[in-house]
Amino acid sequence: MLRNAVLLLLIMDAFAQPAPKHYTCMRASPPMRIDGRLNDAAWRIAPWTDDFVDIQGAGHPQPRFRTRVKMLWDDKYFYVGAELAEPHVWATLTEHDSVIFHDNDFEVFLNPSGDGRNYFEFEINALNTGWDLFLPKPYREGGSADNSWEIPGLRTAVHVNGTLNDPRDRDRGWSVEMAFPWVAFASRAPVKTPATGDQWRVNFSRVEWRTSITGGKYVKVPNLPEDNWVWSPQGLINMHVPGRWGYVEFAGSRN
C-alpha cells in the first residue's frame, strides 16, 4: 500500500513539472562581432526563444519586462545573445566574480553531459561584469560552487539602449552577447565541440529587483525578494535542478 502511494506521488510530481523548452541552435556562417548589439547578419538565422516566464512556471505572475534569447554555434564558440527590456537600467558591481545577482543580471547555465552533473554557470550585469563558476553536482546533492574556474577566451559585450545608472530618463533596456569557447570547459569536465544533432541541457535566468529613486540614485525596495524569470520554467525557486533545464540541439547551417 505504501509503495503504491509513493508511486502515485512520483507520478503526480512528474505531471506537475513544467515541460522543458526546446531550441534548435543553428550554425553561424560569417564571423561574429561581439559588441552587445545582436545586429550581425548571422543573428538573422537564429530564432528567438519564447519570452521568459516566472521561474515556477504556470499560475504565477507574468514577468513585468520582456526577456528573450538567441543562440548560435561554430567550430570555436557557443554564442548567446539576450535582449532584456528595462525602463531603468542600473548596475553597481565592477569586480569580477562578485555575486552578480545582487544587481539585476542575466545568467547562463550549461550542462553539456545532460546528466545533471559537472555544469557551468555564468552571470553578467549591465556593466559587463561577470561571475563564472562550476558545480560538480547541484547544491541539494551536496555540491559546492568552484569560483576558481575561469573561462579563458570568453568574449562578452553589453549594449545599453538608454543611459546606465541615470534615473532622470526612461530606458528601453539592455542587450548582451557572449561567446563561450568550447575549450574553456576542459579544465573541469570532458566537454567536446558538439556535432550536428548533439543536445545540451541549458537554461537562462534573469534576476530583477524592484527599486525606488532616492537622492538621484536607484535603491532596492527593502524587504522585497528579487524576481526570477527564466527561459525553461523550473517548477520551484531553484535554478540548480539541471534535470528541469531546457534542451538545445545543435543543427547545421540554414541555406
Report d(CA 104, CA 82) in Å as an integer.
14
In a domain, 238, yes or no: yes
Q: Domain for residue 45, yes or no?
A: yes
Chain position carrying cell 513539472: 17
- Residue 18 is assigned to a structural domain of this protein: yes
Residues 6+ positions from 139 with CB-CB distance below 8 Å:
240
Map grid coordinates 543611459 to a residue. 163
DSSP string, 72-105: EE-SSEEEEEEEEE-SS------STTS-GGGSSE
207 domain residue, yes or no = yes
- Put simply, whether the predicted model's pTM sits higher than 0.75 gets the answer yes
- Strands of 86-172 (E only): list them: 105-111, 119-124, 130-135, 155-161
CATH number at residue 111: 2.60.40.1190
Domain range enclosing 107? 2-250
Q: How many domains does the chain have?
A: 1
Please give the pLDDT value at position 16.
63
The reply to whether 236 falls in a domain is: yes
Residue 255 forms part of a structural domain: no
| The C-alpha cell that represents 126 in the structure block | 549591465
The predicted pLDDT at position 31 comes to 82
Q: 30 pLDDT band (50/70/90 cuts)? A: confident
d(CA 179, CA 174): 17
**Across the chain, what does the average pLDDT equal?**
93
Inform me whether the pLDDT recorded for 15 exceeds 60. no
Judge whether 76 lies within some domain. Answer: yes
Q: What is the pLDDT of residue 29?
A: 85
**Pairing relation of β-strands 246-250 and 22-27?**
parallel
Query: Residue 37: inside a domain, yes or no?
Result: yes
Residue 215: exposed, middle, or buried by beta-carbon count in 10 A (0-12, 13-18, 19+)?
exposed
What is the rounded distance in angstroms from the CA atom of residue 190 to the CA atom of residue 196? 18
